Amino acid sequence: MALVAALAGAVDVPVVAEGRIRNPHEAAAALAHGAHSVVVGTAITAPTALTATFVSELAQP
């Protein structure tokens, strides 16, 4: 998010945040940090990747 904020503050064109946006909280954070819009790809188009993330994070103590 630091990169989004720095870029949004440095340019006069819309900044699109893309990559590693995995949930609505992260999308909202990108917008709050100055992104004009957010691209959400794998998080909604690859259910197996989403499931693997849940399994991995829930398996950690």
Domain map of the chain by residue range? 2-59
pLDDT at residue 47, as a whole number: 86
Q: Quick one: average pLDDT of 1-23?
A: 95
Instruction: Check pLDDT > 80 for residue 61.
Output: no
Supply the mean pLDDT for the chain: 92
Reading the block at residue 23, the tokens are 């949930």
| pLDDT tens per residue across span 18-38 | 998 988 899 999 999 999 999
Burial category of 3 from C-beta neighbours within 10 Å (exposed 0-12, middle 13-18, buried 19 and up):
exposed
Q: Taking a C-beta distance cutoff of 8 angstroms, is the pair 43, 24 a contact?
A: no
Give the torsion sign (CA, 18, 19, 24, 29).
negative
pLDDT at 3: 96
Count CA atoms closer than 13 A to 13's CA, side-chain side: 2
DSSP 23: S
